[in-house]
Structure formats: C-alpha cells, structure tokens
Structure 1
C-alpha cells in the first residue's frame, strides 16, 4: 500500500495552506507558470479535484475526453469566483479528500481498481499518490518562484515528498496516452532517476502477450535515460523540455521517440 503517498499528500496540502494567507489579491491574479492559468486558477484546479474526489459529479457526455481540457473546463467554471470562494472550496474539500484517501489505505479495499477518467485504472490506495503529485507539482512548479510568480520558499523536497509523486507518474505512463505512447517504444528503455525520489525502472515495449507498454523495476536495456527525479516531474509533464534535463546513452533515436511523446497529466 502507499501510506507514504498519503503522508506526502498531507504534507504538501499543509504547505499550501501555509502559503495561502501570504498571497494578496494582486498575487492571485498574476499569471502562473501553467499556461493560461492565473495563480488563483491553479488553486481552483486543486480545489476542484478535491471536491470531485469527495462528491463525484454525474458523468456528462459533453465533457472533453482529453483530461487536460477537462481540467480547463473545471477551472473556467470558477474563473469569475471571488478569491475567497476559491480558497474556501480548497480549505473545505482538501481535508475531506485526505480523510477519504486515508480510508482507501484499508487492506480490505486498498487494491480495488478505480477508474480515473482519462487517466487509467489504479488501485485505490494509489489515489493518495495522485493528490501528492498534483499538489506538489502545481505548488512548486506553477505557483512558486523561480518558475511561478510567488516569492515564497518551501523546505527542500525530500525522498518522502518526491517518491510518491514519481510513483504515480510511473503508474500512469502505460495508461495515460495508450497506443499513442506505446507505439514509440520499440526496445527497452531504462529510466534512471536520481536524487530525492530516486528509482530505476525499465519501460518495456508491447509484445504478443501485452498490448501496451509496461514499466518494471530495475534496469534491463542498453538505452538509458538519466535525470533527477525532481526534474522528471517537470519534463515528464512537459513543463520543461526533456532535452534540457536528460542524459541519454545508447540509442538516442529510440529514447527521443518516447520522450518527445510522453506527457503525464
């Protein structure tokens, strides 16, 4: 189970709660590092995710199939809200989301499959890692300097912060882009992530027994992609160009074909 993901989610949510009172109305309106979103829109996105976790809306066929466009839709619904209303939604819904995620660690239901629309199917216990990833990624990369506009600092990220976020990202690699990404992997690709959250996995191509790529622990291939785990959160979500952060050895064309298409939401 991923109790580490739950603790990481709690820690990142608490850090965001510490930042919120320091942000004035002008700061909330500044463009974030997430294209098209103000800082308040980033918070609205996190608040919407928390609300939907505890009170899922009825599916609507008019919703965009693309998960990123769906997130835009939810943010757009909140664009005219006063800052206080967005903050209130986050402060009401995030604790409820954390309580729900804690229940999901119960051994009786922890491995139950949960469909996350547009992102794939995950064991219930891993949903804690989705919150850990979302809050960590958006706060540190989109809201706070140096990439975001807010001039505040947080403690240096640790294994306990980065590892759960990376675990969710790697679980999403075979699912989020389906055949589009699977088609780019023709030979095993070793992904070596260093620093806080360090791990090494191999991305295996589909074969006669599998119709999708798979991600397995360890190194089992001659082409290696090396990066820090912290930077993986940036380039793996296409916030930054992978070429600025990755060292590739072996077949560079094989690696580039995969890396050019990868986009973890």
Structure 2
C-alpha cells in the first residue's frame, strides 16, 4: 500500500502550479501518490497540469468536474472524492501555491503519530523572489542551496517569516522548537485515517463545537512541525488565488475513508489566521 496521499488544491496559475509540481519531483521519499483537486482552476489550466503529471514519477491524477463556476458544494464533492479514492491511510493537505522542501513528505510521515494532527507554516516568499524562480531551479534545489538569498530578502526585501525555512536536522533542536498548538494552520497539515474518522464523527454531534473543544474532547493534539516539514508560499499577486487547506476539514462532507456504509460530516476545525507580520 502507498504510504501517503498528497492532496493538492489546484490554483488558476500555471506558473505557481509548475513550481509546486517541480518540488514534488524533487522529493527524496517516493512512496506516495498525488491527488490534485481542481476546484478553483479552469479547464485550460487543468489540461496543462495533466501534461506535467508523467514527470512526477509517482501515481498522480486529477479530480475535477466539467461544471463551470465554483461553489462550496462542488468543492466539497471534489475533496470528498479525492480522499475517498486515496490509496493510502495518511493524507497530507497543501495548496498548489506551496513549494515543498525535498524532505517535506518524509517528515510528515516520520513525525506522524496516532492522536496527533501535524501542521506547519510556510516561508512567505516575496513577489520578486517568485518572479525569478523557474521550475528547473526548484528541481535543482535553488530554494535550499541558495537560501541566503531569501534570508537577505527577509532583511532588505519583502519576504517574511524566513526563519521557517531553516531545516533542522538535530533532534535536540526539534524538541525545542516543535510545539503543541491549538489550531490547524492554513499552510499544510496531515493526519491519519483513524484520527480523521474520530474527528469527523465527533463533528456530527454538534456543528457549533469549537476547534479547541473538538480536539480536546477527542484526545487529538496538534503539533507544529514547521522547521521539519519546510515549505515556501508564493506571494504572487498577478493572478488571484484562493486558499485551500484553511478550514478544509469543515468542507469535507460524507467522506468514508475506506470504511463502507459509513459516512462522516465535516469537522468544524478552523485554521488559525496568521497575521502577516514581518518577522526574521
């Protein structure tokens, strides 16, 4: 069985999508699949992405609908279909505006533990950095080998939260920086099927339940693994994009997670909005 399913919301931006796909090609851990949820993209963008999928060298497919326009119910249906058809029992949610460190998927799996949701925040790349990036540079590790450029842009330019991009190898340092948090961050998060079932079942009981109470009542904890599962968010403003993973759990409706005859209601987990203050 495949060990992880990377579920990506496709944005209506060919450049940014190419950068994300290039970072998938670079992943050192290869036992995963890619499921692209095309809920915000046009048919032209979808066709372009489909031509790139063979380059990933991992199982990959697109879940989309020929219906025009975007509606919450259509998005719920697409996300539900993606997870219901996942080949693994561990799901990692990201947006296609995120570029992944080459250890991103491996770290989510290494840190995964029953009873925990893993989450993390991204380096916010400036528009000037993003405009210079190409898919080939991402494949060649530009963001890692020339990270000093991003650090400098954090001081003299417009990139923010640049310390999130420092990949920590030391277990001692990880113990110091990995912290328990009360919310699921919008940049990326992951959880296994057992915890997802528990969370989604609990949400059936009350739609007014808060994130904190929902997690506590079900003995679920959220751990921030930002400096292990490193990612970079593209602040590209030429084409507007919508965030996917923020609040994704409450948009997932009647997902069976490979348990026949059993449906689940959307979990009322809201991602914490992180103010975009400049920190470095």
Normalising by structure 2, report the TM-score: 0.27
Higher normalized contact order (CA 8 Å, seq sep 6+, divided by chain length): 2
Normalising by structure 1, report the TM-score: 0.28
Q: Which structure shows the higher helix fraction? A: 1
Q: Which structure shows the higher strand fraction? A: 2
